[in-house]
Structure 1
Amino acid sequence: MTKWKWGLALLCSLPAWAQIPQDQAQTLAQLSGLTEQQVQDAMAGVEKNQKILDAIATPWEAKPWYQYRPIFITPERLKKGLAFWRANEALLQQAEAQYQVPAAVIVAIIGVETYYGAHMGTYPVRDALYTLGFYYPARGAFFTKELGQYLKLAQQQGWQQSPLGSYAGAMGMGQFIPSSYQHYAVDFDGDGKRDLFASNADAIGSVANYFHEHGWQMGEPVLAGATVKGKAPLTDGLELDTTLGALAKAGVSPAIAMDGATPAKLFAFEQKDGTDYQVAFHNFYVITRYNRSPLYARAVWTLAQQLEHAHGK
């Protein structure tokens, strides 16, 4: 008897409190492709977690840059990152060559996300996604879909219980949400499994694949400091909605010389003593596909530059 059939047999003896409402089970069955009984079995005992709702209400990305930066850019994180790079040198060289994504960026992502695998989360992924899917109306539809993806993934991976992850349901060394795990995780060590928790190879290859699939351009710029004369031409969103030429006409002078037709966008980062203007390029936008925050993208790129410099010494 398979573990899923065994679980279904146990379902009959589960008390009512251990089951989720029927309408929730029906929704998740449609999203996951599982039966309602399989969903009830997988979700047995799940409960809303108020700590998760509190956490998502106060994200680090709400901080100004001068407070956000010290969270991730520290001598200790740089030292640990250099050690991780040297311990996985061959894997990182292979990933860089295969996916055309710099090793420094791969290491920086894993460093910012989980301190190189040391802190992969404390919340059961299933419970986090359930809480946000059904009790966080602002983004309930998104997290409910992710919970459906998680249930499918859990069946495929043979997880006996929910792995631990972030309050937003991200998991593994690179903190992939279930849909990203499904679409971008790779078996980089060739053992027949995609393990983002215990396999450095799979984690490294999967982060590289994610960036490759989102269009990273090897050797192209990411971010450049800029001076601004007059009113800064700031716009909402993350998309590159202007060009270097248009920015120049608006009084923006980046510390880089490129064709005026190059897509770009001006960002303002709050410092203690004023505003730090930066011109972002395509690769910066790619980093924001991992986490839709300019603060996050700049932290990753800053750490990647530090790692590149330290590794090259």
Structure 2
Amino acid sequence: MTLFKRIFAPLALTLLSCSATAAPTASDVEKLKAEFIQTQAEKGFDAKETASFIANAEYNQAVIDAMTKPWEAKPWHQYYPIFLTEKRLEKGLAFWNEHADTIAKASKEFNVDPQIIVAIIGIETYYGGYMGNYPVKDALYTLGFHYPPRATFFRSEFGNLQSLVKEEQLELNSLKGSYAGAMGFGQFIPSSYRHYAVDFDNDGRRDLLNSTTDAIGSVANYFHQHGWQKDQPVTLQLTLNKDLPDTLKIWSGEKLHYKVADILSPDIALAQSMDLDVSQPALVVKLEQVDHDEYWLGLKNFYVITRYNRSPLYAMAVYQFSQELKKAYAAQ
């Protein structure tokens, strides 16, 4: 099943005088740099050190171009065939077999289903086959200082990169990743690397770029820290007798506020009957097929996948790929 490019959800807009779409002026950029130097000083970096860190990064127009063409804009029927392929499934099985002991250990220690760990690494980087060719420092600098819609978030990640390089003794100029500054087998942005990476091979380093063992443990820890519930359902298909009522909204990134009982009704039922705690949090996902729409009930685990990437299409691709992996691995 196939490869996926990470897209981050819109976060706080920059407090520049320019609009959300207009490119910042040279004066705006210089103001942001001065503010950034001050922010980093509060974290223990001296001004010369941070100024040098900024000067080491370059603007990259290709990063802006990639950020403004999100893959999630595609309807589901165009999206999933790109990311769910037989080649990826074969690669996933080979990865699972090769690292079976590590995956089993991570699954047990962090209470996360093994197929989810394997699916994430496969969808993010094709099991390390494509971890990105953008210099991380340039990607985060470009988005943090030259892309107003998400500048505040990416400037923070640029600051986290400065801390990460120092903490993990990484070679800044050799760090390559996605156009959004995500690195390694599991594509962690700097803040996620700092907060969720683990030294799972016990060699004294948290190395998500070269150590598959650390990557496996870190992906499992990420899901654990966000509340994954092992052996629990993720999403269930719904059948509708009529259109979705106006009072029930399709999930678009907000915190869970519906319960299963708010969604199921005589006109909205599970496609396959099963016992389900109707008091648990839930959401509704719509998938656009060629000639009809599918509706799915997303549960807590589905929401947890969206903590990795906010797109419901991404979460559904991860889930469906994980199920294919689970079936194929059990059938060996």
Deviation string 1:160-199 (CA, Å, 9 cap, x unpaired) is 3330000011111000010000000000000000000110
- Structure-2 residue corresponding to 1:307: 325
- Structure-1 residue corresponding to 2:314: 296
Work out the CA distance in 2 between the residues paired with 1:152 and 1:178. 9
- Structure-2 residue corresponding to 1:5: none
Work out the CA distance in 2 between the residues paired with 1:55 and 1:256. 42
Q: 1:28 to 1:308 in 2, by over 3 A?
A: farther
The 5-angstrom pairing of residues 45-84 of structure 1 reads: 45-84=56-95
SS of the aligned residue for 1:249 comes to coil
Work out the CA distance in 1 between the residues paired with 2:280 and 2:155. 38
Deviation at 1:237, TM superposition (A): 2.8
Q: Is 1:27 aligned with 2:42?
A: no
Q: 1:156 to 1:224 in 2, by over 3 A?
A: same
Work out the CA distance in 1 between the residues paired with 2:31 and 2:146. 16
- Structure-1 residue corresponding to 2:305: 287
Deviation at 1:22, TM superposition (A): 7.4
Deviation at 1:236, TM superposition (A): 4.2
State the 4+ residue runs in structure 1 displaced beyond 3 angstroms.
20-23
User: Which deviates more from structure 2 when the two are superposed, residues 244-253 or residues 294-303?
Assistant: 244-253
Q: 1:47 to 1:215 in 2, by over 3 A?
A: same
Structure 1 counterpart of 2:320, one-letter code: T
Deviation string 1:187-216 (CA, Å, 9 cap, x unpaired) is 000000000011011000000000000000
- Which stretches in structure 1 are left out of the alignment for 5+ residues? 1-19
Structure 1 counterpart of 2:238, one-letter code: A
Deviation string 1:253-293 (CA, Å, 9 cap, x unpaired) is 11342132232211110011110111110000000000001
- Match for residue 219 of structure 1 among 204, 220, 231: 231
- Match for residue 240 of structure 2 among 228, 238, 251: 228
Q: Is 1:169 aligned with 2:181?
A: yes
User: What is the number of equivalent residue pairs in this alignment?
Assistant: 294
Instruction: Flag the structure with higher helix content.
Output: 1
SS of the aligned residue for 2:206 comes to coil
- Match for residue 122 of structure 1 among 128, 133, 137: 133
Contact 1:222 1:283 in 2 (8 A): yes
- Which stretches in structure 2 are left out of the alignment for 5+ residues? 1-28
Work out the CA distance in 2 between the residues paired with 1:252 and 1:267. 13
Structure 2 counterpart of 1:58, one-letter code: K
- Structure-2 residue corresponding to 1:153: 164
Contact 1:47 1:127 in 2 (8 A): yes
Work out the CA distance in 1 between the residues paired with 2:70 and 2:257. 26
Identity %, equivalent residues: 47
Q: Is 1:109 aligned with 2:125?
A: no
- Match for residue 242 of structure 1 among 227, 251, 258: 258
Deviation at 1:29, TM superposition (A): 5.0
Q: Is 1:90 aligned with 2:101?
A: yes
- Match for residue 278 of structure 2 among 249, 260, 280: 260
Normalising by the residue count of structure 2, what TM-score does the alignment of the two structures yield?
A: 0.85
Deviation at 1:150, TM superposition (A): 0.4
Work out the CA distance in 1 between the residues paired with 2:225 and 2:162. 24
Q: Is 1:275 aligned with 2:293?
A: yes
SS of the aligned residue for 2:172 comes to coil
Larger relative contact order, structure 1 or 2 (CA cutoff 8 Å, min sep 6): 2
Work out the CA distance in 2 between the residues paired with 1:216 and 1:256. 23
Structure 1 counterpart of 2:239, one-letter code: T
Deviation string 1:142-166 (CA, Å, 9 cap, x unpaired) is 0000100001111122223330000
User: Which deviates more from structure 2 when the two are superposed, residues 152-161 or residues 72-81?
Assistant: 152-161
Work out the CA distance in 2 between the residues paired with 1:154 and 1:147. 11
- Structure-2 residue corresponding to 1:10: none
SS of the aligned residue for 2:279 comes to coil
Root-mean-square deviation over aligned CA pairs: 1.6
SS of the aligned residue for 2:90 comes to helix
Contact 1:188 1:205 in 2 (8 A): yes
